[in-house]
Amino acid sequence: MLLNKTTYTGYKERPEKILQFGEGNFLRAFVDWMFHELNKSGKFDGSVVAVQPIANGMANMLNDQDGLYTLYLRGLKNGKPESTHETIDVISRAINPYEDFDAYLKTAEQPEMRYIISNTTEAGIAYDDADVATATPPNSYPAKLAVWLNHRYKTFNGDASKGVHIIPCELIEKNADNLKRIVLQIADTWALGDGFVNWLNSACTFSNTLVDRIVPGYPRERIAEITEELGYEDKQVVEGEHFHLWVIEAPESLQQELPFPSIGLDVKYVTDMTPYRTRKVRILNGAHTTLVPVAYLYGLDTVRESVEHPVVGKFIKDAIFEEIIPTLDLSKEELEQFANDVIDRFRNPYIKHLLMSISLNSWSKFETRVLPSLLEYKNRHGAVPQKLSFALAATIAFYRGKRGEEAISLNDDAVLLELLKNAWSRYDGSDESLESVVVEVLGFEKNWKMDLNKVEGLTAAVTKHLQSIVNSGMEKAIETV
């Protein structure tokens, strides 16, 4: 028995107000769940039309279930493991514009359409010069959006009240600014006219966002157990963690229309999301990047066991609270609350997050996620941070490619891998040759955008840590910091 309107008695028809580009796990476990909760609260009454953004997708599977699916939220809540599930009924239908372009275009004619959501991957917000106005549909998301917006503009003769709020969720900085820039470029290339451009600028809003929730997706390994628990088949089950954060740069009008914070959801309407993006990159992503080489060389394999380890767990917590948080400008209370939430997320007993799965491209990650904290700490305190410089030394040791007798499968930029291979090939067992390895790595300006050897005290600190790691092993070396 498949989940659908027949098997789910709580279904309610609602006006279609949200056009959503993307029908995948993240949007269904994040944005759609939030609209579902807002509907339940009585502060909103609307449904989502999900648009399949690429030729191959899940529109048909969603329609087979009348847009219904089960969301499991699993993780630590108030320090204790908790797993809950709920049927989400906010999606009214899904459209595959590659099979039914007319149905897609007709949604622009619906007066109540008000919000456009998207998550088309980081590569989705890009200009494609192969797109043409007559394609049904164009290839890229911005071009599909331009066609839809232009059709709405024409349908309602430029009525300003039929403008829409456009809220992209792609994981790129200034996602809405980039999307709007490309849509305007398309409007110019296709000669859509000044009237359309003026309507777009005055009647529509584009809001930059930051989204944060870990969504493992379809729980393939335990689907038999889930089916037995639910009593019906659901091919669209999705799993996510309890933690959620949506930061939106929004006008006052959007805040009033979508009062997510008033029902307890962690949605922050701000005028500038930069501090929140910095907080996430430095604390959440930075902690991951700091942790991986240290924990893996210690002999651990997952994020959870690393954070719960008495030695490695203390190392990463100290790095966050003593060396990363002091470089950020939000309130200490807010930063520490976020950091504690991050640690709980790392300890999620329902997610097996392998360290090796997040070791990909560690050097570029270190440059964007950890190095800014390291340099800002040095700038504010006049000293090299010991934990972060130790993590840098551990990363160099990690890229030696060995954990004891076990080979490490390194995955990174080919030029970097060659540089590390050559540097380590000249290591002859002496401390002097280890210093040469450090100098060569820190001097690789292509990755660092600067020569890190010029940062006072950094070469000496990293060299000292690397000598300790190589000569004594990670278990003893970590004790020095």
Residue 21 pLDDT greater than 80, yes or no: yes
423 lies in a domain? yes
Question: What are the Cα distances from residue 208, in Å, to 20, 256, 273, 324?
Answer: 16, 17, 8, 25
The reply to whether omega before 81 is within 30° of 0 (cis) is: no
Domain boundary among the residues 234, 251, 270 is at 270
Mean pLDDT confidence for 219-225: 95
Using CA atoms, how far apart are residues 374 and 324, in angstroms rounded to an integer? 8
Domain boundary among the residues 240, 270, 300 is at 270
Strand partners, 403: 406
The pLDDT, as a whole number, for residue 123 is: 84
Query: What's the pLDDT band for 118 if we cut at 50, 70, 90?
Result: very high
Residue 78 pLDDT greater than 90, yes or no: no
Q: Do residue 122 and residue 260 come from a single domain?
A: yes
Q: Are strands 402-403 and 47-51 parallel, antiparallel or unpaired?
A: unpaired
Residue 122 pLDDT greater than 80, yes or no: no
Using CA atoms, how far apart are residues 62 and 52, in angstroms rounded to an integer? 10
pTM of the model: 0.90
Mean pLDDT computed over every residue of the chain: 96
Q: What are the backbone angles phi and psi of residue 246, rounded to the nearest 5°?
A: -130, 110
319 lies in a domain? yes
Q: Is the separation of the CB atoms in 294 and 478 below 8 Å? A: yes
Q: Do residue 243 and residue 323 come from a single domain?
A: no
Domain boundary among the residues 215, 237, 270 is at 270
Task: Write the pLDDT tens digit of every residue in 356-386.
Answer: 988 989 999 999 999 999 999 999 999 999 9
Q: Is the separation of the CB atoms in 140 and 128 below 8 Å? A: yes
Q: Do residue 346 and residue 360 come from a single domain?
A: yes
Dihedral of the alpha carbons of 352, 480, 463, 429, in degrees to the nearest 10: -90
The pLDDT, as a whole number, for residue 10 is: 87
Q: Starting from the edge strand earliest in sequence, which strands make up the sheet with 205-206, in order? A: 91-95, 47-51, 16-21, 115-118, 165-168, 205-206
Question: What are the Cα distances from residue 407, in Å, to 297, 310, 363?
Answer: 11, 26, 19
Q: What's the distance, CA 26 to chain centroid?
A: 9
CATH number, domain with residue 356: 1.10.1040.10
Task: Write the pLDDT tens digit of every residue in 184-199.
Answer: 999 999 999 999 999 9
Strand partners, 118: 21, 168
1 lies in a domain? no
Q: Is the separation of the CB atoms in 459 and 434 below 8 Å? A: no
DSSP 340-406: HHHHHHHT-TT---BGGGG-TTHHHHIIIIIHHHHHHHHHHHSS--HHHHHHHHHHHHHTTTEETTE
Q: Do residue 73 and residue 50 come from a single domain?
A: yes
Domain enclosing residue 331, as ranges: 274-480
Mean pLDDT confidence for 9-25: 95
Mean pLDDT confidence for 249-256: 94
Q: Do residue 266 and residue 281 come from a single domain?
A: no
Q: What are the backbone angles phi and psi of residue 66, rounded to the nearest 5°?
A: 55, 35
